[in-house]
Amino acid sequence: MELYDFFKSVIDMDIAAVVICDLSHKIVYMNPAAKERYSKRGGGKLVGNSLLDCHNKASNDKILQVVEWFGKSSQNNCVYTFYNEKENKDVYMIALRNKDGELIGYYEKHEYRNRETASFYEI
């Protein structure tokens, strides 16, 4: 088993949408939750397209600002971008870096605030 398979599985099993972009803002990967969440906008067909085509100018300006900040230091890796009241979640932009610490892309991370309703170890 390759290490790649383990990392891909972590992303694919996440219940939150994960959309990974390269530095040209091209969507390079969407996990199953993202494909479902954005199905009305094309779902998996968005892969290969620019993330900037999915947002308004104000949002694009913020995305560009954050990616520029990520590029200024290998210590600049996480920015709190939004609170979604309807879904009770915090949203962050996260830098993606290679093993040498070079910026290679970014993704949006969703942290839900709702307490889990399942019982412990419910299987």
What pLDDT does residue 1 have? Answer: 76
At 116 the pLDDT is 86
The mean pLDDT value for 72-98 works out to: 96
The tokens for 35 are 């494909």
Quote the percentage of the chain above a pLDDT of 90: 91
Distance CA 46, CA 15 (A): 19
**CA distances in angstroms from 66 to 30, 36, 61, 80, 99, listed in the order given:** 20, 26, 9, 10, 21
Q: For all residues of the chain together, what is the average pLDDT?
A: 95
Which is nearest to 79 in space by CA: 88, 68, 87?
68
State pTM to two decimals.
0.90
Rounded Cα–Cα distance for residues 47 and 120 (Å): 36
Residue 2 amino acid letter = E
What pLDDT score does 73 carry?
A: 97
Per residue in 27-71, pLDDT (tens digit) is: 999 999 999 999 999 999 999 999 999 999 999 999 999 999 999
